[in-house]
């Protein structure tokens, strides 16, 4: 018996453009390796940067503290700094150092360090009196992505550190906000204010009868604090370094703190610090690298 040939229907789907599907998929096939490679490169760069940061600190710590042991992540020290700075030339930081109740030690010094800055040691504060807790804030220049460190030294010689990684760049070379003539005209002028809640209060007076460990004084000194890395926009030459390198704060005859500073302190250095009012006037003496001397005072209320 003759059977008719059986043919499957011939389907045509021109609207799908099947021959072109590989062309559509090819960019997708290429995108995944590129994305993965980018992630790997980013991870490698981050790891390299972290390794570099560790190497910087290992070299730096021996230069500053020799072979002395440092307690990293100490519960005695708390450092607050922005993860990413809005202005690399004025990065706000706050440090609190608190000893446990009944601890016989006192707080002797506090050193602020910006690892990747050309001059990493921003300032060293030496405290007077039997201080068991200290709060201090200031503004730093951060020249590139870097760890910022606060190292407190107790009266027994122990070193206790807190650190924070800050993403910022160009802080040491950023141009001054004021032109040189204006900056030099007001150089050395001080603003010294007191408030019991830690905020800026009355412009000239602080009430010593409301003393507490959270009483604060806000000190600001008008000074360009040239880092030596800034370029004059007219001459295109580097502006020579000139900065506040010495501050002494006393209450009556008692030392509150003395400070030795460097180029990592911001323009118009500002320091907010806790104190224990005794009723005596607070006096400030400061000097810069050019030998200028500046003075200011804050009299207690009443």
Among residues 67, 94, 117, the one where a domain terminates is 67
CA-based angle 70:243:112, to the nearest 5?
15
Do 40 and 73 lie in one domain? The reply is no
Structural domain includes residue 12: no
176-194 pLDDT tens trace: 877 777 778 899 999 998 8
Q: Domain containing 194: what range?
A: 68-300
Mean model confidence pLDDT for the chain: 82
Cβ contacts of 259 within 8 Å, gap of 6 or more: 123, 124, 125, 126, 246, 247, 248, 271
User: Is the CB of residue 216 less than 8 Å from the CB of residue 274?
Assistant: yes
Residues 93 and 46 in one domain: no
Residue 1 lies in a domain: no
Residues 57 and 115 in one domain: no
Residues 291 and 156 in one domain: yes
Number of domains the chain contains: 2
Residue where a domain stops, chosen among 11, 39, 67: 67
Check whether residue 117 and residue 51 sit in a common domain: no
The answer to whether residues 209 and 261 belong to one domain is yes
Residue ranges of the chain with pLDDT lower than 50? 1-9, 11-22, 24, 28, 42-43, 45-46, 48, 197-212, 302
Residue 194 lies in a domain: yes
Instruction: Give the three-class secondary structure for 104.
Output: coil
Q: In terms of Cα–Cα distance, which of 207, 282, 277 is closest to 252?
A: 282
29 CB neighbour count, 10 Å cutoff? 9
């Amino acid at each position: 018996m003759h059977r008719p040939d059986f043919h499957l229907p011939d389907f045509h789907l021109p609207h799908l453009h099947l021959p072109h599907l590989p062309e559509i998929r090819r960019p997708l096939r290429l995108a995944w390796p590129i994305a993965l490679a980018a992630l790997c490169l980013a991870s490698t760069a981050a790891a390299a940067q972290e390794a570099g940061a560790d190497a910087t600190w290992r070299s730096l710590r021996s230069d500053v503290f020799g072979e002395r042991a440092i307690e990293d992540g100490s519960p005695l020290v708390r450092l607050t700094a922005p993860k990413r700075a809005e202005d690399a030339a004025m990065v706000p930081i706050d440090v609190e150092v608190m000893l446990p109740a009944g601890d016989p030690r006192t707080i002797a010094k506090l050193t602020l360090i910006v690892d990747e800055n050309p001059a990493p040691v921003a300032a060293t504060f030496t405290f007077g009196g039997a201080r068991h807790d200290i709060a201090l804030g200031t503004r730093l220049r951060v020249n590139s992505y870097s760890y910022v460190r606060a190292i407190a030294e107790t009266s027994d010689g122990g070193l206790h550190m807190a650190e924070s990684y800050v993403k910022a760049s160009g802080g040491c070379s950023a141009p001054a906000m004021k032109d040189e003539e204006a900056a030099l005209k007001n150089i050395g002028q001080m603003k010294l204010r007191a408030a019991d809640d830690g905020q800026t209060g009355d412009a000239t007076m602080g009430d010593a009868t409301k003393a507490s460990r959270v009483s604060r004084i806000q000190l600001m000194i008008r000074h360009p604090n040239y880092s030596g890395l800034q370029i004059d926009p007219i001459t295109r030459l580097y502006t020579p370094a000139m900065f506040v390198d010495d501050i002494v704060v006393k209450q009556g005859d008692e030392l509150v703190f003395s400070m030795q500073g460097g180029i990592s302190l911001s323009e118009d250095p500002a320091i907010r610090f806790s104190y224990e009012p005794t009723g005596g006037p607070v006096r400030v003496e400061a000097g810069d690298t050019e030998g200028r001397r500046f003075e200011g005072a804050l009299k207690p209320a009443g």
